[in-house]
Structure 1
Amino acid sequence: MLGSFRRRGCTCKKKRCTCGSMWYYRYDVTDPVTGKRKQKEAGGFATKPEAEEAAKNILAKLQNGTFIEEKDISFVAFTEQWKSIYEKSGKVKISTVDIRKAKLKIILKHFKEIKIKDITKLKYQEMLNSLFDKYAWKTICSVHETAGLIFRKAVELEVIATDITKGATVPKKQQTVEDLENGTEIPKYMEKEQLAKFLEIAQLFGNANDYPVFLTLAYTGLRGGELTALKWRDIDFKEQTISVTKTFYKKKEVKRTYILQPPKSKESKRIIDVDDKDKLVINTLRAHQAAQKVHDLKGDGNVFVNISQIKGQHLTTDDLSRRMKILLKLAELPSELTPHSLRHTHTSLCAEAGVSIDQIMQRLGHKDDQVTRNIYLHITKTRKKEASQKFADLMKSL
């Protein structure tokens, strides 16, 4: 049976409350062990009608036997249980687990000292809203996704009755006139002439790895982690293909600790054709294979191994970034370019060559990616203008 409704902690002398205290209601349940009736309380509602509506739902569940008595466990304690379940599920990569843990830290700043059953939809929405000025929209979305995983698991384990994240709104900045006028931001990439200059500098002044590394990145669109994970068995010199089946993930909290794991997504597992007429990439890699055998001290079959610091170990994405900075300075090219910029460069050159957006996506290992589309539309805009001009020239002759 339902009992009384009250504002917990209200100190207002007048009937109209001005202190912001929340509404709570009491109800009776039967203890499944003793069979005795005991009184429970639920609350955190801004208005009495909200509390009354929630109370009606409780009564209905009590009457039809679907009521779940929420557990008296803190949010932080349950998240420890959730992390253990999530990590051992065998369905998620270590990199994904680390992302979830990072977003959980943000959530815990708001709910660490509170019981999970006391977190209401209103409190959760207020938490999301409080992130608006501190974090990017994508980060807030990731926080919301992580919270959803936690609360859905709590419902599944009958720790709480409902998923309070369902129906929540992720706050997003409204586009201004300036945003629309400035258009879509295009990520940094090299023009064809810049790439030629960069590769020339890498070949003339780089170490034994530099030219084959950066040529392969620019001509295949591989991610840095995918390139550093390559084994010689992944390269088919006869068919002129590169198989992408793994990537290295860097553990941020441990220096030079990289974990071999499956690619970023299902689409990322792919075979890339590198059968250009001059066989530039394949011949470069073939020559590199013969030259680097002396450096592969561990005999792991890595395509690119460290030849300067930790000799014999596979190259890392940090190694790529460090070497690229040196070469960019020598080539007098923008210092903000990164190894990932060569992936964007590959997209731009494919678009300029007339390769379709679907083929580019497949080559890059994307199901869909807005950044790739932005680069593609930016590059093909010039071709559209050329087509329009050709049509205009044709009509002038009439």
Structure 2
Amino acid sequence: MATFKQYQKRDGSNAWQFQAYLGIDPVTGKSVKTTRRNFKTKKEAQLALSRLQVDFEKNGLAKRHSMTFKELYELWFEQHQKDIKATTKQRIKIYFDNHILKDFGKLLIDKVTPLFCQKQLNTWANKYLSYKKMKIYVSMVFKYGILIDVLSDNPMERTITPKRKLEAVKNVSDNYYTKDELKTFFDCLSHLKDNRAYAFFRVLAFGGLRKGEAMALLWEDINFKDKTISINKTLAELQSGKPIIQDTKTESSHRTIKLDDRTLSILKEWKNYILQEKLRLGIRDKNFSKSVVFCNSVLNSENQYLYKAYANNVMKKVANHFPDMKIIKVHDFRKTNASLLFESGASIKDVSQRLGHKSTKITTDIYIMVTQTKQDETAANFAKYMAF
């Protein structure tokens, strides 16, 4: 369907235009309509329309050169989200909605150049720590465009990832607790008489679990007879505040580790405390093994998971009551566990498996820190060996 119309130009001369519906774009699923102007005669306009219709039928891509980055992103994300976790989906949308689409969204995909991508990448590197992730996601969108044949080149691939200027290096000892500092931290929790926090952070520090892994633990995951704890899920939280249970971070994060006797004893004490509280309140729990280890309340037999900021709030509480106590990030209890395991003589492979890393390189690069105790021991052993 097309309409042809003669109109008068600004210089007073006459010209022809047409408006036409070409069909449905097989890529976007949207109607393709077009308006073309400035034809000298109606016959010339009709000929141009005929060529346009042939091109559309041949390529099925009349809108190919007018597709915006946002439209391509929406097609890519519709497919990509089928194979990812809800929290990953949420994180990707934040990257695009808050940053990427503001810079790329309205651009026509065939007009985006490597130079534009490079300039944008440099800007992101100066503003965001996650700029490398943003580059990866933009590149994935362009790759999808090549896959569905609406694009022939990925301009983001032809860029150089800039390196951020190194900021003042923070003292590495601020990122974890030494053996004595960890003992002092638990003394603080004892003074606060917070049994749940004491048991929770004991599992983090002596088991090396991630915060979400500890929050997702059920009592059936702890085998007091075999002295093991099974890590097979993690607790996450959507933007709405709704808690969800997901698979562990990676396949290697799915693991079973041994626990020391003292940690098991603390967990038994915490378990008995919950059972006594339920008994005191007249609550019968026929399926206690399926209940959450670190729950919000004993008043409800349903799985009542801790809120996301729980562990951070405990650290703030410790800081308020004990201003001289060094405070580390919650995730740094994994670094504490790794460094103390290493200091006690554990191999990198053993530490890597215990923490659930997929390779020892991750353990070495991120967690294993040569503590002062280990440095002193190494220097002493070397001097003893050299003996001159």
Q: State TM-score, norm by structure 1.
A: 0.72
Structure 1 counterpart of 2:67: 73
Deviation at 1:346, TM superposition (A): 0.8
Deviation at 1:201, TM superposition (A): 2.8
Work out the percentage of aligned pairs sharing the same amino acid.
25
Summarize deviations over 1:82-102 as a string: whole Å, max 9, x none. 2221112xx211222222222
1-structure distance, mates of 2:273, 2:170: 47
Structure 2 counterpart of 1:364: 355
Structure 2 counterpart of 1:43: none
Structure 1 counterpart of 2:384: 390
1-structure distance, mates of 2:54, 2:305: 65
| AA at the equivalent of 1:284 | I
Deviation at 1:186, TM superposition (A): 5.4
Structure 1 counterpart of 2:335: 344
User: Which of 114, 123, 126 lines up with 1:121 in the alignment?
Assistant: 114
Deviation at 1:311, TM superposition (A): 9.5
1:381 equivalent to 2:375? Answer yes
Q: State TM-score, norm by structure 2.
A: 0.74
2-structure distance, mates of 1:332, 1:218: 21
Match of 2:157, SS state, is coil
Deviation at 1:113, TM superposition (A): 1.7
1:132 equivalent to 2:125? Answer yes
Summarize deviations over 1:230-274 as a string: whole Å, max 9, x none. 0111111111111111111122x323x222111111221111111
Structure 2 counterpart of 1:238: 225
State whether residues 329 and 335 of structure 1, in contact with CA within 8 Å, keep that contact through their aligned partners in structure 2. no
Q: How does 1:4-83 map to 2 (within 5 A)?
A: 34-35=53-54, 70-83=64-77
Deviation at 1:158, TM superposition (A): 1.5
Structure 1 counterpart of 2:156: 165
Deviation at 1:183, TM superposition (A): 9.2
State whether residues 227 and 247 of structure 1, in contact with CA within 8 Å, keep that contact through their aligned partners in structure 2. yes
Give the gaps of 5 or more residues in structure 1: 1-29, 39-64
| AA at the equivalent of 1:227 | A
Deviation at 1:314, TM superposition (A): 1.7
Structure 2 counterpart of 1:254: 240
Q: CA RMSD in A?
A: 3.4
Deviation at 1:144, TM superposition (A): 0.9
Structure 2 counterpart of 1:97: 89
State whether residues 186 and 374 of structure 1, in contact with CA within 8 Å, keep that contact through their aligned partners in structure 2. no
2-structure distance, mates of 1:242, 1:365: 13
Give the gaps of 5 or more residues in structure 2: 1-48
State whether residues 274 and 298 of structure 2, in contact with CA within 8 Å, keep that contact through their aligned partners in structure 1. no
Deviation at 1:334, TM superposition (A): 3.9
Deviation at 1:173, TM superposition (A): 3.3
| AA at the equivalent of 1:168 | T
1:272 equivalent to 2:254? Answer no
Structure 2 counterpart of 1:306: 296
1:221 equivalent to 2:212? Answer no
2-structure distance, mates of 1:360, 1:203: 28
Deviation at 1:359, TM superposition (A): 1.2
1:283 equivalent to 2:265? Answer yes
Structure 2 counterpart of 1:9: none
Deviation at 1:338, TM superposition (A): 2.8
2-structure distance, mates of 1:201, 1:326: 10
Structure 2 counterpart of 1:146: 137
| AA at the equivalent of 1:109 | K
2-structure distance, mates of 1:226, 1:247: 4
Deviation at 1:78, TM superposition (A): 2.1
State whether residues 244 and 271 of structure 1, in contact with CA within 8 Å, keep that contact through their aligned partners in structure 2. yes
State whether residues 338 and 351 of structure 2, in contact with CA within 8 Å, keep that contact through their aligned partners in structure 1. yes
| AA at the equivalent of 1:192 | K
More off after superposition, 264-273 vs 217-226: 264-273
Structure 1 counterpart of 2:45: none
User: Which of 79, 86, 89 lines up with 1:85 in the alignment?
Assistant: 79
| AA at the equivalent of 1:239 | D
1-structure distance, mates of 2:197, 2:127: 39
Structure 1 counterpart of 2:198: 211
Structure 1 counterpart of 2:32: none
Quickly say closer, same or farther: Cα 1:232–1:37, change in 2 above 3 A.
closer
Count of aligned pairs: 327
2-structure distance, mates of 1:161, 1:386: 62
Deviation at 1:146, TM superposition (A): 0.6
Deviation at 1:363, TM superposition (A): 0.9
For the pair shown, the structure with the greater C-alpha radius of gyration is 2
